[in-house]
Amino acid sequence: MELQDEITIHAPRDVVYAALNDPEILKECIPGCEELIKHSDTELEAKVVLKIGPVKARFGGNVTLNPENPPERFSLTGEGSGGAAGFAKGGAEVVLEDHGAETVLKYTARAEIGGKLAQLGSRLVQSTAKKLAAKFFTAFAERVGDTETA
């Protein structure tokens, strides 16, 4: 499964990049996030509760950041397990384009799922993934924009 989108954030690129590396901001914006621990500049551990169709599960997993060309571009990879619900793994490429006082964030995300989640059907999983991504980026844009104007 692959998702692509872009969102305009009312903050300069360096502010957006810093926020994408701030565990407190990410925890506030990730739907269902209970815990986000930063082990290093590139290693994060997360606990997230998600409901996809009839399956609700607590996922524990690790995320690795790869700052290829900060603050213009970076990628991340991650994998998590939801016990009997199954597993998810994937990654994303993020590009931040500077547009004066605003930043256009473009992303391409790939995900692979297994277990009960995979049995739900790709259409349900894909629509849920799109909703979760939209929720995250809307919350992130509001949080970072508010931080900039405060």
Q: What is the CATH number of the domain that holds 16?
A: 3.30.530.20
Whole-number Cα distances in Å, 90 to 1, 9, 99, 131: 9, 24, 29, 17
Number of separate domains in the chain? 1
The pLDDT of residue 32 is above 50: yes
- Per-residue pLDDT of 2-30, as tens digits, reads 999 999 999 999 999 999 999 999 999 99
Burial 58-72 (b: 16+ CB within 10 A, else e): ebebebebebeeebe
- How much is the pTM? 0.86
- Mean pLDDT score across all residues of the chain: 89
56, two tokens: 């609700």
- Per-residue pLDDT of 36-64, as tens digits, reads 999 998 999 999 998 888 888 899 999 99
Q: Give the C-alpha separation, 25 to 73, whole Å.
A: 19
Contact 26, 137 (CB under 8 A): no
Domain around 21: 2-149
The residue written with tokens 């690795």 in the block is 64
Q: Give the C-alpha separation, 150 to 19, whole Å.
A: 15
DSSP summary character for residue 133: H
Kindly state the helix (H) or strand (E) to which residue 61 belongs, with its residue range: strand 55-69
